Structure 1
Amino acid sequence: MSAPRDHRVLIPVDVLEGEVVPETIVDAFASIPVVLLGYRELPDQTAPDQARDQYGDRARAELEELRSVFEDAGCDVTSRLAFTHDRLETFERVAVEDACDAVLVLNPAPVLETVLVALRGDVNVEYIARLLATILTGTDLELTLFHVTPDDSSQAAGTELLETARSELVDAGVDADRIDSTVVVDDSPTAAIVEASADHDLLVAGESRPSVRRVIFRDRAKRLARRTVDPVLVIRGEYLEGETTSNGDSAPDEDG
């Protein structure tokens, strides 16, 4: 296994809409550095500078209160504030700028005991295992590794993928008794994942290639988050792009 590096998770929160991070999420992510992104998505006719002047003080106060909740749980947390015309591009940009390994799409999480990890065939299993092992530190969360294959002929390859993932998790320090594996045959991966996630409290979707990041944020993870009541953790690619994208902001984010 290659040398580990620091991990970090981006948690975007619409602070002006009263969106909160459930205590179960705070506790589960206390073992990994977190970047809290307080954001407000604006209509096209509203300039970010105008919104910052009008709502900035309130948004900063809400963000600081949320940050203190993570700090009280012992979490290494930093915060950023953004007023933007495109929240998904802002999530993407900040994730790159702050070298975040994953982005948590918040949904209600009154209970957090089981995690469904949906793996594609092209993911970097070792990388995902290291990140998951970091998140699992200090928790009792149980994992189900999940893979959707289009037909019976590729089922063996899916089983091998999950066995590899299981071995990497165990090597990273996760108790084997906490890990289960399931391979299903279905020509609609998203539908199969949504159905399986109904029996779990957190959905983890892993991808490996930075070139498909836009698809991750704008399609698969967005649809999964919309169709499930669980939080969705989208694991980004191991190799982070150095370039940023334009997101409609006319002023830089504020950092804390």
Structure 2
Amino acid sequence: MPDPRDHRVLIPVDVLEGQSVPRTIVDAFASIPVVLLGYRELPDQTGTDQARDQYGDRAQAELDELRTVFEDAGCDVTSRLAFTHDRLKTFERVAVDESCDAVLLLNPAPVLETVLVALRSDVNVEHIARLLATVLAGTDLEVTLFHVASAEAGRDDGAELLERARSELVGAGVDADRIDRTVVVDGSPTDAILEAAAEHDLLVAGESRPSVRRFVFRDRAERLAERTVDPVLVIRGEYLESTDDEETDDGENSE
């Protein structure tokens, strides 16, 4: 059984827009340390110091209230507040700073019973399975492992990928009866994932490899989160490294 303390999940929340974390999400992630990132994305003409002076107290109060909800559920929670001109850059940087294994992009989740796990390749399968097993521990969530092959010739390779992921989950303590596997052939992986996600309550997507880390996180995962009604959990690779050219002056503080 994986130790929940081995993992950490970043949950960004636009606190000044009234965004909240559904109770179903709080309960599902209560056993895993989380970092709540209260943020506000600003127009270019608004300085972060100006925004903090104007909105900081209200934003911090909203963040503190949300943190209390997680604490009352028994969660090990850290909170940070940021005013930023680029929310995705801030999400990435905080994930690195706080050694977060995944980032949860929020959408409403009135019911949380089934999880769709979209796997693209065998890179980081073990890492994805370990974190997913931690999320599943103590819940009744059922899982569908999902792969989109670009051509019929890739169906068998996709089946082998999902079998490997299933074996990793079972080895981490997840009951095999809770795990389904589906391979489809489609020239548009994103559309196929979205169609399948419509039948589930939480979408899990893993990054593929370091060379496309920014592309995957900034493009594909963001498009999935915008086009699905489900929350999207982006499981990051094990290659987390901060880059020297990342902007860090985003008016942030932490607790």
Q: TM exceeds 0.5?
A: yes
Q: Could you say which residue in structure 1 is the equivalent of 2:52?
A: 52
Deviations 1:107-164 (A, max 9, x none): 0100000000000114311111110011111111000000000111111000000000
Deviations 1:3-44 (A, max 9, x none): 997111000000000000000000000111100000000000
In structure 1, distance between residues paired with 2:206 and 2:137: 19
Deviation at 1:93, TM superposition (A): 0.6
Corresponding position: 1:134 with 2:137: no
Q: Could you say which residue in structure 2 is the equivalent of 1:232?
A: 232
- SS of residue paired to 1:156: helix
Deviations 1:206-256 (A, max 9, x none): 1132332211222101111111000000111112114355347353x2111
| Contact residue 42 and residue 83 of structure 2 kept, 8 A | yes
In structure 1, distance between residues paired with 2:88 and 2:127: 24
| Contact residue 93 and residue 244 of structure 1 kept, 8 A | no
Percent of residue pairs bearing the same amino acid type: 79
Q: Could you say which residue in structure 1 is the equivalent of 2:108?
A: 108
- Counterparts in 2 of 1:11 and 1:78: CA distance versus 1, 3 Å: same
In structure 2, distance between residues paired with 1:127 and 1:11: 19
- Counterparts in 2 of 1:139 and 1:80: CA distance versus 1, 3 Å: same
Q: Could you say which residue in structure 1 is the equivalent of 2:166?
A: 166
- SS of residue paired to 1:112: coil
In the TM superposition, 1:146-185 aligns within 5 A as 146-185=146-185
Q: Could you say which residue in structure 1 is the equivalent of 2:216?
A: 216
- Aligned positions, number: 254
Provide TM-score, normalisation by structure 1.
Answer: 0.95
Corresponding position: 1:125 with 2:125: yes
In structure 1, distance between residues paired with 2:138 and 2:154: 36
In structure 2, distance between residues paired with 1:137 and 1:20: 24
In structure 2, distance between residues paired with 1:91 and 1:104: 10
In structure 2, distance between residues paired with 1:53 and 1:143: 45
Q: Which runs of 5+ in 1 are unaligned?
A: none
Aligned-residue CA RMSD (Å): 1.7
- Counterparts in 2 of 1:118 and 1:183: CA distance versus 1, 3 Å: same
* Residue identity opposite 1:202 in structure 2: L
* Residue identity opposite 2:154 in structure 1: S
Deviation at 1:180, TM superposition (A): 0.3
In the TM superposition, 1:81-96 aligns within 5 A as 81-96=81-96
Q: Could you say which residue in structure 2 is the equivalent of 1:18?
A: 18
In structure 2, distance between residues paired with 1:249 and 1:191: 36
- SS of residue paired to 1:243: coil
| Contact residue 5 and residue 32 of structure 2 kept, 8 A | no
In structure 1, distance between residues paired with 2:26 and 2:5: 22
Provide TM-score, normalisation by structure 2.
Answer: 0.96
